[in-house]
Structure 1
């Protein structure tokens, strides 16, 4: 069987449908005895269904011999290990007559039937087959073998069946379309939620390292477990105490009266690996490690123990976790106060941020459904928590504080799905790089980590705030109010100056602050006091009564053009004298949904509060207009994203993926270390995707340059000469560019100058016709090691270094992503034309970005592609300069089920 290039046998851990962890790896020759044992333990009926004949030891012996030979081309074999044995095995053998196909065989140990072993193995076998260039897998089964036929049918891949007597011939196409990804999502969510149950809904908990000292972490967690009213059984482990917090102590894990589902580990770092090993052997299902300071060997030992025994792990170096569900009431944290039960699911890598969020949510009365401090995030991640909240039936807001991403593409896909049901919010921390200008005019330099992370948030519909305060503001609004139908807001105030501040804040936040249409303005004037201004803001004057204000608000809420109302009020002696409460006009009265309602109370001592509303929940009140405006803008942006129909990636119809891959493989065969291919190779790769490039010729010698200039530009046209050598990135900075050349003499002189300056470095010169353009753009892709391919677009030419006016989205791009790319940069307004600038061909620009997206997804070896400048005209777009960097890389399926 094929191994990795260095001869190793790669392995991953993954979850079965019931949450059990198994190890999936390639079969090795030394596995022969274990494979044979698996076959020998199959029941006669299982052997008959597998080998189409009555059970015989010879069938198992022959199968074990074949699968463990190793090294034969066109074959793969994977096994699933669990519990010290083999749970299942899947293999394929290439068909010599049909090299793009292979025949699959599958066997699952009897004790593991019905738990998803076969499906998991086939998923990984499909991934291996794709990497081997296969297009389809075939299989034969008895028509009565319903379980294995169901496994193939439920994969989510295109499938055909052909019946031949008692046998069924199955063919599975290996396309990775949305149907297959959706099936993977469903299986992954089922397995993930099942694996998380011992962590968040345990029936028993043991605190290992519960200290006698009142200030110890373990004792604080034990106290919170008791005080929170945990409904399960609680145990403590401490060899130096008999009772702590009224709970009997046991000297060691094996001395416990039962194997707890969840073990909280609060021992010194040096003891963590041995404690984890003890827990695994004893049958613990999940670990919460609050200990910090593990070194590399200790960390590796902890991970190994968790994977060996199938324990999910939260932490280490974390605050703990909590589940406020009435039937659980689990507070396994060392926070000073237990979290308030509620509807926000919270996951935070920083313990300090976690405490701040718990405190803020409790103060607002929103509360939490469950909370997990992720800490160093060895295992359980934000992706796991999103799937838990999606399924728990209690969570209405998903809140994440993430400092790193293990599998951003899987996370993005999960967040997109969850975001259709509930808002997903985060703090976009570490934005300092956003203020830096790109110091180089190529895609990899322009694509900062901040830009990449923000692209993920935008595409996944994640509300990314700039601070914890903004996060709580947005949560207060989203928890209490319906989503706005658009971004139109009307400011209503009893103090003109305060209203102007609020209108400015709303406009700066990107909201639409337009005056009411005439009929609505007349209605407002009719119910407000004399002297009221019915523009936007609506200045109701200090003389407005509670009743008049309520009538004004009711008319605004009923109007189709109003998406949100922001009431800005200051206390006055007039209102106090009459007993009017203007805030009550906002919070009491008819339900004003679907209009989003919020208040700004300038004398409010806290940043945001939720005011009780008569019969319909709460209304958020902010102390500063800017906070209110940003919260409304976040809600409007999320509503816009959620209103978009779900779209699949758009594919250019004429991409020659096979030709491009062959070109890349051929070049890397001669340059195994990678690098920058010459212009001819770049042009061929881009040509396979139909990316428009200006005509050019590759020359050596001044006579050849003159001849090329005549052919490309004619006797009176102007040309450009570009020197080239491997690794050249910044032609202008190196003086390797000559512009505006006309006539033979100028071309000769320019070539002679380039050849004299760069001498032995020079590999050749590119000759192009000169193109005049007012609008120069840049487009490109870069493969991020963590996030995958990123498509970048913005202002190009020399301005790209100075202005850093770029936008980015993760590939593959949907039509909505392309639209966002074209409208996000500041230069976007020029695409529709301006003084001296004609409107450009937007359709051609869209096509260019889609082709770049497809190329980036097809070619994992494509480290970077940079088209700068791209000239955009009314009748098309053309890349005037193109560079590509390649490196040896293997395709990696981010959606394949595997644990961190």
Structure 2
């Protein structure tokens, strides 16, 4: 009865600013998920009134109009603690309702869900429940309960398929379900799978359209709209194509109509190339006409125009690329759509390409075409109001054609969801990016260019590292690496054997490899002797192996065959210079290299110093190619990226360890209590800070608080260690850098010195000092720093490195995004330059690495649990063979609400 709800939009829609979220159903259509309001009462009543008697019975256990009426009043009544009702809405019509009620218990809530007749099996109920789960978790609810009839298999399947741990208790004709709201990886994967299916369905009209209309195609040569129309027509698109221009009946032999509503059929994809002020009205007309996707190339939209454009997309089920973009292109056979205004058509191939900069897109399209890699699909994201890199990674993962993904992203909308997607996709294909915005100047330019917040360097690099993304520093390096990953197997390790016909070229190659982090090991005597038997007299069979200017094609081929089959080799780099000797004998040394490709399982790369282009792909006899570089550093960089990818793939996916003795609820109560009395946030006092760390089992050096001279002496007497020495640390609200203010007094050996130290602090900081922290003088150990910063976009970033008073000068830190896996924490601890100090040596035993990892993992857990934790700083964190302890801690809280990064919603 209500199938047409999803097919015929009405003439009005709710304002975007009043919505909680837009999300995609299983078939790719857009719905609004929001809290129920009092004015929804007629809509909820209609939802129940239009249910069949059978569905009403399954929902209320009886065909009871009074129960339905009461349920509608409850859902739309005034807000009350412990109760929440969410509705799914489309085009002003309610499609479903889900609600929970704790009944005052606080941690357990009873739920119910209702979906309009005719809309079952489209994911309405599941989407509502996902949003209900997220809302409940934020309110401290840990479990849902639901009563259902045994015969209500549909709702029982919805509960079972959520991905949450569900138990059932049968009682006659009824079954009670209990659903644990733990944020397990199983649940996140289930949400991810549902989201990916919905996302792919929504992108079909954009990337595989059957009908395309170019709105704004003009008569004047050189206009963007006309250029795109010409590109589509000449690019091989054989499906239906229209132009929209009120002053023409035909453009470039393409039928033209005065408006989108005048087209004979609604276009799947509308390309909008009209002035900025006209974009919102055109988008609204497209939506009303049934268009499913927009490509907005127009730039210069103001805030109000942008809001109206996005509202039209959300209200009318349209996915959008842009605005301010170069266009899109897909080489899918039978589609062949090139809706760009680039100079030429891209070559068909297997690389997926997404960029935020049109100029970068043109350069990469040209480079990939020139190399022969080509593209499967290209999307210029522009200002990225809707379709993002995350969407495209999922498309390429599933399209059956793409085997290499290239991204140029200047901003991230939901980096934690992007990271989760990328971790999965990078195990199937290489994902490469240009690390744009590494400097202050670059970040300012990125923010200006894309109208988006620039991403801090350390945070972005942590994202790339953890997700297995190969990050290049330039367009050239990206193409160099793509050429190798597209054509060669991955190396098993970092060992490179260099073969050359010129000693100087071999030296340059060896330096380049070492600088890129590769190793150039000396060959064993057996390998050196073996190479000596196949190379000409006078050759130096070391590493580099200098074959000399007289080496023949046959000799070089045999040498490469021995090297590629050697257990001492992970990769082979051949660097050649042209010689008159080879020219005179007719030997083709390059042919010897291309012939070596495919003989073994090792990557082989070539460097030709006379080569004009930075990188080329040379055909090999087995039908593959060998990458040829103009200089050794490019080849070494590409090999290093390949080696890092191989190492990342060889390691199993990490898991977030389960930590004992964590009191999350107590920590939340502490935070809430602090923010109740400090609504603007602030730095915790020492006792509050110690209580919070204790909730997570983070070891702290013994300490005591003293606000008088006598109290300081008594505390010192209790806390003195075997050597009898203590430390006094002055404190007052807002004090952050105690050492810089000379508010730390060390090596106090007796009561008199403690009294003198307290009086000194009291005198120097009169009017500020509120007390002192007394601690025993710490034993010897390595001073480290562990901290966390809560990024508004990326979430918590855990930082680790050298600590003590010189930490900011040394700047020896690494970072990873929380929550940390077991692999993440190992990488984090071993990445800084100070890491060798932790392993011992020169008569020093190693520190307790297991205890150190536990501290960092517990800090990660604390930051993940508490979005109000704006900043935390453990410095120094003292690591010794016998354990690890925090000597000084600072924690800054701000009033923030939790935001579920994995909740399904559109940007």
Q: Deviations over 1:689-732 (max 9, x none)?
A: 11111111110111211222222226962222111112111112
Structure 1 CA distance, aligned partners of 2:455 and 2:65? 60
Is 1:11 the equivalent of 2:20? yes
Is 1:474 the equivalent of 2:492? no
Q: Deviations over 1:351-373 (max 9, x none)?
A: 00011100000110000000000
Give runs of ≥4 in structure 1 deviating > 6 Å. none
Question: SS of the residue aligned with 1:759?
Answer: coil
Give 1:679 deviation, angstroms. Answer: 0.6
Verify the 8 A CA contact 1:266 1:289 in the aligned structure 2. yes
The answer for the alignment partner of 1:139 in structure 2 is 146
Is 1:665 the equivalent of 2:672? yes
Give 1:41 deviation, angstroms. Answer: 1.2
- Which of 780, 794, 817 aligns to 2:787? It is 780
Q: Deviations over 1:135-157 (max 9, x none)?
A: 11111222222221111111000
Verify the 8 A CA contact 2:607 2:631 in the aligned structure 1. yes
Which moved further from structure 2: 523-532 or 347-356? 523-532
Q: Deviations over 1:30-72 (max 9, x none)?
A: 1100111111111222212212223x43332222112111212
Structure 1 CA distance, aligned partners of 2:549 and 2:26? 64
Structure 2 CA distance, aligned partners of 1:373 and 1:18? 25
Q: Deviations over 1:380-407 (max 9, x none)?
A: 0000000000010000111110000000
- Which of 70, 81, 93 aligns to 1:85? It is 93
The answer for the alignment partner of 2:364 in structure 1 is 357
Question: SS of the residue aligned with 1:115?
Answer: coil
> Residues 429-444 of structure 1 correspond to what in structure 2 (within 5 A)?
429-433=436-440
- Which of 541, 560, 569 aligns to 2:567? It is 560
- Which of 859, 862, 865 aligns to 2:872? It is 865
> Residues 256-655 of structure 1 correspond to what in structure 2 (within 5 A)?
256-433=263-440, 449-589=456-596, 591-655=598-662
Q: Which runs of 5+ in 1 are unaligned?
A: 1-7, 437-446
Change over 3 Å in CA distance of 1:607–1:162 after alignment to 2: same
Is 1:713 the equivalent of 2:720? yes
Structure 1 CA distance, aligned partners of 2:659 and 2:112? 36
Change over 3 Å in CA distance of 1:516–1:703 after alignment to 2: same
Verify the 8 A CA contact 1:204 1:260 in the aligned structure 2. yes
Q: Deviations over 1:659-694 (max 9, x none)?
A: 212211111111111100101111111111111111
> Residues 95-114 of structure 1 correspond to what in structure 2 (within 5 A)?
95-96=103-104, 98-114=105-121
Verify the 8 A CA contact 1:482 1:593 in the aligned structure 2. no
Question: SS of the residue aligned with 1:111?
Answer: coil
TM-score of the superposition, structure 1-length normalised?
0.96
Structure 2 CA distance, aligned partners of 1:669 and 1:83? 40
Structure 1 CA distance, aligned partners of 2:208 and 2:233? 16
Verify the 8 A CA contact 2:28 2:198 in the aligned structure 1. yes
Give 1:560 deviation, angstroms. Answer: 2.4
Structure 2 CA distance, aligned partners of 1:435 and 1:650? 37
Verify the 8 A CA contact 1:774 1:837 in the aligned structure 2. no
Structure 1 CA distance, aligned partners of 2:430 and 2:90? 38
- Which of 761, 766, 769 aligns to 1:754? It is 761
The answer for the alignment partner of 1:188 in structure 2 is 195
Verify the 8 A CA contact 1:715 1:743 in the aligned structure 2. no
Q: Deviations over 1:311-343 (max 9, x none)?
A: 101000000001111111010101110111001
Give 1:83 deviation, angstroms. Answer: 2.9
Give 1:99 deviation, angstroms. Answer: 4.1
Give 1:589 deviation, angstroms. Answer: 4.7
Verify the 8 A CA contact 2:503 2:546 in the aligned structure 1. yes
Verify the 8 A CA contact 1:434 1:451 in the aligned structure 2. no
Change over 3 Å in CA distance of 1:335–1:546 after alignment to 2: same
Give 1:231 deviation, angstroms. Answer: 2.5
Verify the 8 A CA contact 1:78 1:90 in the aligned structure 2. yes
Q: Deviations over 1:5-39 (max 9, x none)?
A: xxx97510000111000000010111100111111
Structure 2 CA distance, aligned partners of 1:727 and 1:435? 33
Structure 2 CA distance, aligned partners of 1:768 and 1:714? 9
Question: SS of the residue aligned with 2:747?
Answer: strand
Structure 1 CA distance, aligned partners of 2:570 and 2:638? 14
Structure 2 CA distance, aligned partners of 1:64 and 1:46? 16
Q: Which runs of 5+ in 2 are unaligned?
A: 1-16, 444-453
Verify the 8 A CA contact 1:410 1:895 in the aligned structure 2. yes
Question: SS of the residue aligned with 1:492?
Answer: strand
Give 1:590 deviation, angstroms. Answer: 6.5
Give 1:635 deviation, angstroms. Answer: 0.7
- Which of 75, 78, 90 aligns to 1:70? It is 78
Verify the 8 A CA contact 1:485 1:636 in the aligned structure 2. yes
Structure 2 CA distance, aligned partners of 1:652 and 1:804? 30
Change over 3 Å in CA distance of 1:715–1:704 after alignment to 2: farther
Question: SS of the residue aligned with 1:65?
Answer: helix
Q: Deviations over 1:220-279 (max 9, x none)?
A: 000000001112111111112222111121111111111001000000000001111111
Structure 2 CA distance, aligned partners of 1:70 and 1:28? 8
